[in-house]
């Protein structure tokens, strides 16, 4: 009997953990988490499904282990992700922009900070949390899948770029912990659902950044009982009508495609107000033009307070990351990146955005892929 239990444990553990997770790092993580009572989990500004999914998964896991864990986002999470926290949990999730004093107090008084889905303390990633984070004296643990982490900022770094999402990396970390022993059924339904949500949104529902480990994770979470139909319903089928109407309008009358195969759409403030657009509701718009054969890269520009938010997606062979870095003050993943345009440094106002995009993407495609675009 005991032998059986040990065997089962060993099978779970060795089949269901990943060699990307270093044993010593897990030991250090357990040590750091063991000596801290109050912990803060944070992620990047404008939290997306991966940020919200991985943060709520970790908060649930820590609270179930008896820890006092809070999530502090630099700003508010979008309404369409609110289903990832119940009414009690929402009391433990705050926005530094809305509650600066409470956020700074928690950051200063906690014993450990988890930084998820971002890897540098910059205004463009941390917003109102940049200063409190940079000044916090406690240990900080990074769990992230973006390129070029600033390792010096953290006591412990889990950084992996050949992975779908932060939620997936967190999943494999949790599987390597003694509490689970590699058995996904040891995760509570809430933790499992949050992890699945993060991975699903960052892969655009298994359309990109899918690795063998990603499908293994999905399979293990399904076996553990995650209700994927309910999750997909929440993530993709609860939008208001105006979102699809706006997407239709953008695709029909605003999208331009350049001779280099770059599609771009620009969304101004006036149109956003007209359609009553809320944060998070344009999520995924940038992917749509990639369904056109000749399109190799898609750029979506949205007017924001004093700057323009830029999302870039590309097909294999074209680097969204290098384009974002070179011309849009940003970066990210090879095929999925983001950045910003500033006025007046880059463009005078939104009327110049189209001209700017055409000019720099033509330069980019020519420099990187030659005059014939190959
Ligand atoms: Mn992510």
Distance CA 341, CA 295 (A): 22
pLDDT for the residue numbered 313: 96
- Please, what is the Cα angle at 271 between 269 and 277, to 5 degrees? 85
**Residue 200 alpha carbon to ligand 1 centre in Å:** 10
Q: Is the pLDDT of residue 5 over 90?
A: no
Domains of the chain as residue ranges with CATH? 2-235 (3.90.1640.10), 242-369 (3.10.310.30)
Greater confidence (248 vs 371) lies with 248
Q: Would the pLDDT of 11 be above 70?
A: no
Query: Which residues contact residue 255 at a Cβ distance below 8 angstroms, ignoring those fewer than 6 apart?
Result: 263, 264, 265, 289
Region of 36 (left: φ > 0; alpha: ψ -120 to 50; beta: rest) is: beta
Interatomic CA distance for residues 139 and 149, integer angstroms = 16
Parallel/antiparallel/unpaired status of strands 331-332 and 336-342: antiparallel
pLDDT attached to residue 128: 92
Please compute the mean of the pLDDT values over residues 87-104 and round it to a whole number: 96
Q: What is the mean pLDDT of residues 301-305?
A: 92
How many angstroms separate the alpha carbon of residue 332 from the centre of ligand 1?
9
Ligand 1 centroid–CA 247 distance in Å is 23
Give the Å distance between the CA of 255 and the centre of ligand 1: 26
Q: Tens digits of per-residue pLDDT, 151-163?
A: 999 999 999 999 9
Between the CA of 166 and the centroid of ligand 1 the distance, in Å, is: 5
Please tell me the predicted confidence (pLDDT) of residue 305.
Answer: 85
pLDDT tens sequence across 212-270: 999 999 999 999 999 999 999 999 999 999 999 999 999 999 999 999 999 999 999 99
C-alpha dihedral (249, 254, 259, 263), degrees to nearest 10: -60
Distance 223 CA to ligand 1 centre (A): 24
CA 47 to ligand 1 centroid distance, Å: 9
Give yes or no for a contact between 357 and 327, defined as CB atoms under 8 angstroms apart: no
State the pLDDT at residue 280. 83
329 and 340 in contact (C-beta within 8 Å)? Answer: yes
Q: For residue 330, what are the contacts with CB-CB under 8 A and spacing of at least 6?
A: 124, 310, 312, 324, 337, 338, 339, 340
The predicted pLDDT at position 374 comes to 58
**What is the distance in A from the centroid of ligand 1 to the CA of 188?**
22
Per residue in 156-191, pLDDT (tens digit) is 999 999 999 999 999 999 999 999 999 999 999 999
Helix residue ranges per DSSP H, the chain: 2-15, 23-35, 49-64, 87-90, 100-109, 123-126, 130-135, 166-176, 189-202, 212-223, 228-236, 241-249, 269-274, 320-327, 353-369
Q: What is the CA(351)–ligand 1 centre distance, in A?
A: 31
Lowest-pLDDT choice from 139-148, 236-245, 271-280? 271-280
Ligand 1 mean position to 42 CA, how many Å? 13
Say yes or no to pLDDT of 346 above 90: yes
Q: Which two tokens stand for residue 327?
A: 């011309």
CA–centroid distance, 274 to ligand 1, in Å, is 30
pLDDT of residue 120: 94
Residues with beta carbon < 5 A to ion ligand 1?
50, 117, 165-166, 202
For residue range 29-53, list pLDDT tens digits in order. Answer: 999 999 999 999 999 999 999 999 9
Interval between CA 118 and ligand 1 midpoint (Å): 8
φ/ψ of 351, rounded to 5, equals -65, -20
Compute, in angstroms, the gap from residue 168 CA to the centroid of ligand 1. 9
Q: Please tell me the distance between residue 52's alpha carbon and the centre of ligand 1 in angstroms.
A: 10
202 CA distance to ligand 1 centroid (A)? 6
Residue 17: pLDDT band by 50, 70, 90 thresholds?
low
- C-alpha 18/C-alpha 212 separation (Å) is 11
């Amino acid at each position: 009997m005991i032998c059986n239990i040990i065997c089962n444990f060993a099978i779970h553990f060795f089949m269901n953990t990943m060699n990307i997770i270093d044993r010593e790092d897990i030991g250090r993580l357990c040590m750091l988490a063991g000596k801290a009572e109050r912990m803060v989990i944070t992620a990047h500004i404008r939290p997306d499904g991966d940020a919200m999914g991985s943060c709520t998964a970790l908060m649930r896991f820590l609270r179930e282990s008896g820890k006092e864990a809070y999530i502090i986002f630099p700003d508010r999470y979008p309404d369409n992700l609110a289903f990832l926290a119940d009414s009690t949990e929402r009391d433990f999730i705050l926005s530094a922009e809305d509650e600066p004093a409470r956020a700074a107090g928690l950051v200063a008084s906690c014993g450990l900070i988890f930084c998820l889905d971002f890897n540098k303390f910059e205004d463009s990633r941390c917003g109102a949390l940049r200063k409190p984070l940079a000044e916090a004296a406690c240990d900080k643990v990074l769990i992230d899948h973006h390129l070029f982490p600033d390792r010096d900022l953290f006591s412990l770094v889990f950084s992996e770029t050949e992975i779908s999402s932060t939620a997936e990396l967190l999943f494999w970390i949790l599987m390597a912990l003694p509490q689970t022993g590699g058995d996904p059924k040891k995760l509570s339904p809430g933790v499992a659902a949050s992890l699945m949500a993060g991975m699903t949104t960052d892969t655009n529902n298994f359309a990109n950044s899918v690795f063998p480990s990603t499908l293994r994770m999905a399979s293990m979470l399904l076996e553990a009982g995650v209700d994927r139909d309910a999750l997909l319903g929440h993530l993709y089928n609860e939008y208001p009508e105006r979102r699809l109407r706006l997407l239709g309008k953008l695709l029909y009358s605003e999208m331009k495609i350049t001779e280099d195969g770059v599609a771009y759409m620009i969304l101004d403030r006036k149109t956003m107000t007209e359609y009553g657009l809320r944060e998070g509701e344009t999520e995924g718009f940038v992917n749509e033009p990639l369904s056109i054969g000749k399109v190799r890269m898609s750029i979506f520009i949205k007017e924001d307070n004093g700057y323009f938010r830029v999302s870039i997606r590309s097909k294999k062979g074209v680097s969204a990351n290098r384009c974002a870095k070179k011309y849009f003050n940003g970066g990210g993943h090879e095929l999925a990146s983001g950045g910003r345009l500033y006025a007046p440094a880059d463009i005078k106002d939104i009327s110049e955005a189209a001209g700017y995009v055409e000019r720099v993407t033509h330069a980019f495609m020519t420099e990187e892929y030659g005059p014939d675009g190959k």
